[in-house]
């Protein structure tokens, strides 16, 4: 039984970092991630943690220094959003190749242009291919628990890959919710200490990290990296079980809500999943059989588990909070991939919602359910929720 | 006082921090430069390389010439990666998880330092991380065949700003990195040249022992891309100093100290001739470029001496 | 070139143990080779410190060796250039203050050794 605090998603991330007490934190402020950095900096200033915190001069340097620290042997963490992620993309792409288990908070914010500081998923969806473990959080409680989970999954010897824990900018990061913070000692024991067996600072065993690799070997390195990604599922399950003993919660790859007998299921990530659950309940009161699926582990993508969960569902609508211009939206694409193998595939509809922080209402999701129940699908075209025109 | 004998023993024995078998061009100035600097550390050295000549030629998987902990990430961040390593070192030491003492050396070429790596360097210096930044300055992006950098001298021909019918090469003077980094109020900045082993070694020692960040800028003539016979690398380094093209000086705790003052500086043509990148300057119609170059060098030298004399602190 | 590893055989990360380049003999690059006349050497260490390839080994000699003018040189002395790595750049010969080093073409050196 933990202590309940009224805190924002950003503060919840900072709480997790406080308990983790990493060796090094390197971050550059960007709205709406800033409160994470500020809260943690306060912990440092008050001696609540003894982390070495480095206020770098850009996000590119933030991830570079985090990589340097992690390669040196430290447990190093960072946080960013949107343009910051875009700026550090070069290094974000390099980190999994070096097999460094950095854990970063990503507070989802729309990518420019136009510049917009509010929530959508265009930032994270632009970085799904490079090999970071990606976990999504519906609310502040999940942010907090996902960060603890992520440290252990990333640092597992079978994995050794970086992980990003996502939360919706402003909607989750800046909204106050009740969050149960578990006992410091229990959490510290769960999180443990990072092994120094790969540390560059081990001068007794000097090594060279990051050599040039020519066409004769590059492919093999990347295949080895993919193998590690494939191990994430089993490690995630094991670590989740261990964390359950502290929190009493479960850690599935995705959450299903009233899906068992659903005729229509809507798929949605992060905070809008909460809105979707309310819409599901409203529809159910009317006797309509609808449900919702909320992805949590997005990379690696649990194709076969998704297929099993949705194989009996006649209609699946996927709500994406980002676009892939000129192509199918990212979450929709993955679900189409997952359901392709079924002999009897659900009918599917892609929806775009919430770009640049545009709110999505329960009534709008209810309208989506009505549309999907009525069979008025247009699989060749994505639809837009709440768009004027 | 160090001797060439001591340095030789450190750079050529089993404990040498960089070894043979690397793919540097024959006669590359970096070889002598880096081994001398590494030998100057009395503690183990963690080396962080930016992408560039040194990184590529020393580590082509599965071969590495480094006999000391080394890492490379990308082109523009030797300084920020080093800042991360330094932070990890402080943290892990403070927590009692490691007990060895180390020096941290970030190394970049002029490309990874003056241009794409400038911001990371400035940030790391401003935050006063305890590390030394070594720039091996061959005045262009030489690993990829002589593209222009912010360190390319006025009048030099590069592939991206070549001399031609309507161009006499680079129209801008190069940046003064030493003064820029000194303005960050760091304890030590040194400018050295590869041929003067003792001067370079002593400056590297000072840099490693400085109570804060240090920067060491070393001229590295590039036989392949400046284009001259490989045997003349050290000769061009000497000429650079003797013509005042590359003064040997230091800025210690903000105070300028010029190490070598040629009594009769050689005319800049002595340095320029024989280098293909300056060959066009000797063609008729380009005389004014050399005149301008000579004036700039003389003015800069006079200014440097005045700065030293004034005792003004950076 | 030894057998290349499969992806399963790779070590974790993109890392190498120290100094593996010693297995790559750059001596094959040479067109010119240095010839060292030890009897004219003053053991100044200029060539050793300049060599970009660390190809001139040194050792410590208590008894000393005879060099230029028959003088005995004690302490740190150079040995024969390591031809496994010497690329024949010629810096050593060009910078030697006593000119006890000279560069000859590889073919001449090979022919000379054939004659033995």
Does any domain span residue C103?
A: yes
Burial tier of B175 (Cβ tally within 10 Å: 0-12, 13-18, 19+): middle
Q: CA B296 to CA B312: how far, in whole Å? A: 22
| B71 → closest Cβ in A55, A56, A71 | A71
Q: Residue C113: pLDDT above 80?
A: no
Q: What percent of chain C has pLDDT over 70?
A: 96
Does any domain span residue A317?
A: yes
Collapsing DSSP to helix, strand or coil, A352 comes out as strand
Does any domain span residue A376?
A: yes
B144-169 exposure pattern, b = at least 16 Cβ within 10 A, e = fewer: eebbbbbbbbbbbbbeebebeeeebb
- Among C34, C46, C103, C39, which Cα is nearest to C76's? C46
* CATH code for the domain of C50: 3.30.70.20
Chain C closest-CA separation from residue B88 CA (Å): 19
Q: What is the pLDDT of residue A1?
A: 77
Sign of CA dihedral B112, B113, B116, B120: positive
Judge: C10–A206 Cβ closer than 8 Å, yes or no.
Answer: no
End residue of a domain, out of A247, A274, A306: A247
Q: For an interface test with B, which of A20, A60, A65, A199 has the most B Cβ atoms less than 10 Å from its Cβ?
A: A65
Does any domain span residue C99?
A: yes
B70 is in which domain, residue-wise? Answer: 4-310
Q: Residue C2: pLDDT above 70?
A: no
Backbone angles phi, psi at A293, to 5 degrees: -125, 130
Judge: A24–B122 Cβ closer than 8 Å, yes or no.
Answer: no
- A107 neighbors A10 (Cβ within 8 angstroms): yes
Convert the pLDDT of each residue in A46-99 to its tens digit.
Answer: 999 999 999 999 999 999 999 999 999 999 999 999 999 999 999 999 999 999
Does any domain span residue C80?
A: yes
Convert the pLDDT of each residue in A230-288 to its tens digit.
Answer: 999 999 999 999 999 999 999 999 999 999 999 999 999 999 999 999 999 999 999 99
Number of domains in chain B: 1
* CATH code for the domain of A32: 3.40.50.970
Does any domain span residue C81?
A: yes
Dump the DSSP string for A295-319: E-EEES--HHHHHHHHTT-SEEEEE
Q: What is the pLDDT of residue C78?
A: 97
Q: Are residues A277 and A225 in the same domain?
A: no
Does any domain span residue A389?
A: no
Does any domain span residue C59?
A: yes
Does any domain span residue C21?
A: no
Does any domain span residue C13?
A: no
Q: Are residues A59 and A145 in the same domain?
A: yes
The residues, ordered by sequence, that sit 6+ positions from B243 with a Cβ below 8 Å of its Cβ are: B265, B266, B267, B268, B270, B271, B297
- B257 neighbors B203 (Cβ within 8 angstroms): no
C58 is in which domain, residue-wise? Answer: 28-115
Q: Are residues A154 and A242 in the same domain?
A: yes
Q: What is the ipTM of this complex?
A: 0.96
Q: Which residues in chain C touch residue A223, judged by CB atoms under 8 angstroms apart?
A: 7
End residue of a domain, out of A228, A247, A266: A247
Averaged pLDDT, A128-156:
98
Closest-approach residue (CA) in chain C for A200: C15
Closest-approach residue (CA) in chain A for B72: A210
Q: Which residues in chain A touch residue B68, judged by CB atoms under 8 angstroms apart?
A: 203, 206
The two beta strands, A24-26 and C32-36, are unpaired
Q: Are residues A155 and A12 in the same domain?
A: yes
| Angle at A257 (CA atoms; ends A254, A259), nearest 5 degrees | 100
The pTM (predicted TM-score) of the whole model is: 0.97
Q: Which residues in chain A touch residue C1, judged by CB atoms under 8 angstroms apart?
A: none
Number of domains in chain C: 1
Averaged pLDDT, A41-46:
98
Q: CA A156 to CA A236: how far, in whole Å? A: 10
Q: Would you call C2 an interface residue with chain A, using a CB distance cutoff of 8 Å?
A: no
Q: Are residues A167 and A239 in the same domain?
A: yes
- B100 neighbors B89 (Cβ within 8 angstroms): no
Using alpha carbons, list the distances in angstroms from residue B145 to B34, B141, B173.
Answer: 21, 7, 21
Q: Are residues A228 and A344 in the same domain?
A: no
Does any domain span residue C33?
A: yes
Q: CA B11 to CA B32: how far, in whole Å? A: 9
Q: Residue C116: pLDDT above 60?
A: no
- Cβ-Cβ contacts under 8 Å between A and C: the total is 46
Q: Would you call A207 an interface residue with chain B, using a CB distance cutoff of 8 Å?
A: yes
Averaged pLDDT, C81-98:
98
Interface chains of chain B (3 or more CB pairs under 8 Å): A, C
Q: Residue C1: pLDDT above 60?
A: no
Q: Give the pLDDT of chain B (314 residues) as one tens digit per residue.
A: 899 999 999 999 888 999 999 999 999 999 999 999 999 999 999 999 999 999 999 999 999 999 999 999 999 999 999 999 999 999 999 999 999 999 999 999 999 999 999 999 999 999 999 999 999 999 999 999 999 999 999 999 999 999 999 999 999 999 999 999 999 999 999 999 999 999 999 999 999 999 999 999 999 999 999 999 999 999 999 999 999 999 999 999 999 999 999 999 999 999 999 999 999 999 999 999 999 999 999 999 999 999 999 999 99
Q: Would you call C33 an interface residue with chain B, using a CB distance cutoff of 8 Å?
A: no
Q: Residue A379: pLDDT above 90?
A: no
Averaged pLDDT, C100-112:
89
Q: Are residues A98 and A156 in the same domain?
A: yes
Q: How many helices (H) and strands (E) are present in chain C, helices listed first?
A: 3, 5
């Amino acid at each position: 039984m933990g202590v309940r605090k009224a805190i924002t998603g950003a503060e919840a991330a900072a709480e997790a970092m406080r308990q983790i007490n990493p060796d090094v934190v390197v971050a550059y402020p960007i709205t709406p991630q800033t409160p994470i950095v500020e809260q943690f900096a306060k912990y440092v200033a008050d001696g609540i943690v003894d982390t070495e915190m480095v206020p770098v001069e850009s996000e590119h340097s933030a991830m570079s220094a985090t990589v340097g620290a992690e390669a040196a042997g430290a447990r190093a963490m960072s946080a960013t959003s949107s343009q910051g992620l875009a700026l550090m993309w070069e290094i974000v792409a390099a980190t999994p190749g070096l097999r460094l288990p950095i854990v970063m908070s990503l507070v989802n914010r729309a990518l420019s242009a136009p510049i917009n500081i509010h929530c959508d998923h265009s930032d994270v969806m632009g970085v799904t291919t490079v090999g970071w473990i990606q976990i999504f959080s519906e609310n502040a409680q999940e942010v907090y628990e996902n960060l603890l989970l992520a440290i252990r999954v990333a640092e597992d010897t079978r994995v050794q890959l970086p992980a990003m824990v996502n939360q919706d900018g402003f909607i989750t990061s800046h909204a106050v919710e009740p969050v149960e913070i578990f006992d410091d000692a229990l959490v510290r024991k769960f999180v443990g200490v990072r092994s120094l067996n790969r540390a560059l600072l081990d001068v007794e065993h000097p090594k060279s990290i990051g050599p040039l690799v020519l066409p004769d070997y590059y492919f093999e390195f990347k295949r080895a990296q993919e193998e590690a990604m494939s191990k994430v599922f089993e490690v995630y399950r094991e670590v989740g079980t261990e964390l359950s003993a502290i929190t009493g919660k479960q850690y599935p790859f995705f959450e299903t809500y009233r899906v068992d007998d659903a005729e229509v299921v809507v798929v949605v990530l992060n905070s809008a999943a909460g809105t979707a659950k309310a819409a599901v309940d409203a529809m159910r009161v009317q006797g309509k059989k609808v449900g919702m699926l909320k992805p949590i582990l997005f990379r690696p993508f649990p194709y076969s588990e998704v297929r099993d969960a949705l194989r009996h569902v006649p209609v699946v609508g996927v709500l994406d909070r980002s676009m892939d211009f000129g192509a199918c939206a990212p979450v929709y694409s993955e679900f189409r991939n997952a359901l392709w193998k079924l002999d009897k595939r659900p009918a599917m509809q892609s929806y775009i919602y919430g770009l640049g922080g545009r709110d999505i209402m329960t009534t709008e999701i209810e309208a989506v359910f009505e549309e999907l129940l009525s069979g008025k699908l247009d699989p060749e075209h994505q639809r837009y929720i709440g768009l004027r025109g | 006082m160090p001797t060439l004998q001591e340095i030789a023993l450190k750079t050529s024995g089993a404990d040498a921090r960089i070894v043979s078998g690397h793919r540097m061009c024959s006669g590359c100035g970096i070889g002598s430069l880096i081994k001398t600097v590494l030998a100057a550390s009395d503690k183990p050295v963690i080396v962080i390389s930016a992408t560039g000549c040194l990184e590529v030629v020393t580590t082509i998987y599965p071969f590495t010439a480094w006999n000391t902990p080394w890492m490379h990430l990308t082109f523009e961040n030797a300084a920020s990666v080093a800042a991360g390593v330094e932070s990890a070192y402080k943290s892990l030491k403070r927590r009692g998880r490691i007990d060895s003492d180390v020096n941290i050396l970030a190394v970049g070429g002029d490309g990874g330092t003056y241009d794409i790596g400038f911001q990371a360097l400035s940030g790391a210096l401003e935050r006063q991380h305890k590390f030394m930044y070594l720039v091996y300055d061959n005045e262009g992006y030489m690993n990829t065949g002589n593209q222009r950098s912010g360190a390319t001298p006025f009048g030099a021909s590069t592939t991206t700003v070549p001399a031609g019918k309507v161009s006499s090469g680079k129209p801008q003077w190069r940046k003064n990195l030493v003064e820029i980094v000194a303005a960050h109020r760091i304890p030590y900045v040194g400018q050295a040249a590869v041929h003067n082993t003792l001067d370079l070694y002593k400056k590297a020692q000072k840099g490693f022992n400085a109570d804060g960040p240090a920067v060491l800028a070393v001229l590295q003539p590039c036989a392949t891309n400046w284009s001259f016979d490989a045997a003349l690398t050290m000769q061009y380094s000497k000429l650079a100093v003797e013509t005042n093209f590359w003064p040997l000086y230091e800025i210690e705790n903000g105070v300028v100290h010029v190490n070598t003052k040629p009594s009769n500086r050689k005319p800049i043509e002595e340095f320029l001739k024989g280098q293909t990148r300056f060959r066009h300057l000797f063609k008729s119609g380009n005389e004014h470029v050399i005149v301008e170059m000579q004036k700039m060098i003389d003015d800069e030298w006079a200014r440097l001496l005045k700065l030293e004399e004034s005792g003004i602190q950076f | 070139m030894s057998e290349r590893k499969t992806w399963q055989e790779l070590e974790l990360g993109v890392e190498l143990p120290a100094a593996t380049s010693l297995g790559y003999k750059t001596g094959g690059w040479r067109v010119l080779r240095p010839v060292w006349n030890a009897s004219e050497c003053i053991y100044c260490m200029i060539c050793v410190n300049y060599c970009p390839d660390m190809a001139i080994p040194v050792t410590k000699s208590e008894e000393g060796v005879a060099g230029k003018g028959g003088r005995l040189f004690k302490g740190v002395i150079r040995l024969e250039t390591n031809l496994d790595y010497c690329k024949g750049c010629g810096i050593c010969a060009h910078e030697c203050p006593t000119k006890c080093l000279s560069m000859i073409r590889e073919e001449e050196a090979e022919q000379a050794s054939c004659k033995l």
